[in-house]
Amino acid sequence: MTQIARTQSQLGNIIRRARKTAKMTQADLGKRAGLRQATVSQIESGDTDPSTKTVLDMLAALDLELVVRPRSKGSHDDIEDIF
Amino acid sequence: MTQIARTQSQLGNIIRRARKTAKMTQADLGKRAGLRQATVSQIESGDTDPSTKTVLDMLAALDLELVVRPRSKGSHDDIEDIF
DNA sequence: CTTCTTTATGCGGCAAGGCGTATAAAATAG
DNA sequence: CTATTTTATACGCCTTGCCGCATAAAGAAG
């Protein structure tokens, strides 16, 4: 299952979903990634523009990785990350 | 061609490579992404920790997109991004 | 409703990103 | 080698991410 992120909010949603799937709380994830629970909250909500390192740390803590690839691989434009 | 980025430097290398492939200068990319040439330089060099928005803007300007997926898809640990 | 857990907000503070402007240094062209 | 383009650095400024600490609000459990 590979998820496309073109905005911070989409990225936040992906992270939140992954965290729940992993049955972790924001505090758990924060601890693993070296972040505050508050920071995790803000990032998941998409109401901040996190640094790359912060994002990578969170993804690593969730056993996820980032991939860069040419756009529009199928190009279903993801009107909004509804699910 | 899908590239894994687990660190800022790897991300910077990916961007630089993509920019060159697209035959753009740092100034070109900067213009498209709304960034200074100097900023592009620093990010490509990996000596800064860019914000998510900045990275997404650069990727968009290069017609690239970000994908999140489970780690270790083959798990070749990428000792360092040599090429 | 009450209790416990989880998530969202708030405030002051420090560090760092990105900006404008400018220039040095390196690479490419001629 | 010289001229031009491209890339790397620098300084000061402003904004904002993330921190610690604390608390409010929202959910889940009893």
Record the tokens describing residue A41, joined without a space. Answer: 């909250």
- Distance in angstroms, CA of B37 to C1' of D1? 29
Q: What's the predicted TM-score (pTM) here?
A: 0.90
**Which residues in chain A are closer than 8 Å to B60, comparing Cβ atoms?**
6, 71
pLDDT per position as a tens digit, B34-58: 999 999 999 999 999 999 999 999 9
Single-letter amino acid, residue A39 = T
Q: What's the pLDDT tens digit per position in A26-69? A: 999 999 999 999 999 999 999 999 999 999 999 999 999 999 99
Check residue B77 and give its pLDDT. Answer: 43
Q: Is A38 helix (H, G, I), strand (E, B) or coil?
A: helix
A30 three-class SS: helix
Would you state the pLDDT for residue B74? 55
Cβ–Cβ of B71/A50 closer than 8 Å? Answer: no
Average pLDDT across chain B, whole number: 89
Query: Is the Cβ–Cβ distance between B78 and B4 less than 8 Å?
Result: yes
Query: How far, CA to CA in Å, does B42 sit from each of B61, B69, B72, B83?
Result: 17, 27, 28, 20
pLDDT at B73 over 80: no
B55 inside 8 A of chain A by CB = yes
pLDDT of residue B76: 44
Q: Which nucleotide is nearest to A8 (CA to C1')?
A: D17
Q: Categorize the per-residue pLDDT at A73 as very low, low, confident or very high, splitting at 50, 70 and 90.
A: low
